[in-house]
Structure 1
Amino acid sequence: MSLRPALATAAGAVLLLLVAAPSAPADSAAAADPKETVTIDGTGRIASDGTVTLSGTYRCADASGPAFVSSTIGQQASGVRHGIGGTLAVCDGKKHSWQNMGRPQTGTASAPLEAGKAYVEATIVELHPVGGLPLPRFHAVQDKQDITLTKS
């Protein structure tokens, strides 16, 4: 097997794992250090153009590769989750704030987000180098926290 197809396959696997980051398996959360946390503020904002702003705090330590706070939002009416941005995380063991902004794509399968009740998931994921490939390592996960989405 030549190197090019092998690298393309590995890169595709990493991309697939990163897309699934907010839905980390339960054992990933259980394996995380209890000192590593991610929280979600109880209120998010939605602008008139549909841009959503989510925020909270995080704490992580000992990252040997780049780490990010990723977030998704959904509303019960549609059942669809939307990825909202990603913030570079500083994993120094100290508490930091995060804020992600993004404008969800809407189409035939997904209604636009509206002000009101919503749920948010947030994850700290590191691109941990293993054998030269950056594989995801989960530091903290916050599953389906209810928030209020307000117009800004």
Structure 2
Amino acid sequence: MSSAFSSFSAVSDKLFQAKAQKGLTFDDIAKAIGRDEIWVAAAFYGQAKPDAEELAKLSEVLGLSPLQNDVSAQWWPMRGDLGPMPPTDPVIYRLYEGVMVYGHAIKAIIHEKFGDGIMSMINCKVTVEKKPDPAGDRVVLTFDGKYLPYSKW
């Protein structure tokens, strides 16, 4: 992995290698274990925490020895590790740029429609879809997060 991911665990490396050897997509794995593809990718990057049942299913799908042996009960996800800031990866930088360019406008619209509060990223459903377009395929990125009024956070 690149230096931006040097803090990732040996378990992440094992997951990525097994995924590549099996020729599976994140969506293939997600369907096999009953999760969505974004959650599966987040787990591979150490940013989501699989429970014992999910670890067993991952082990089976990827043909690995039980991952419970590799993941201690004290392991916690490392959320928010994008590497250097601003991000240097072009895809991650464009997402970062989107928030820099549209962040205030999105915030204003959230406040107009909901009031003073936030969109929670806890239990947020994220989807990435491909939308054909004559001018070039489009990426449709959806964040489906729960609204929390200021008084709740």
Structures share a fold, TM > 0.5?
Answer: no
**TM-score between both structures, scaled by the size of structure 2:** 0.25
The structure with the largest helix share of the pair is 2
Taking CA–CA contacts closer than 8 Å with sequence separation of 6 or more, which of the two structures ends up with the larger relative contact order?
1
**TM-score between both structures, scaled by the size of structure 1:** 0.25
Largest Rg, 1 or 2: 2
The structure with the largest strand share of the pair is 1
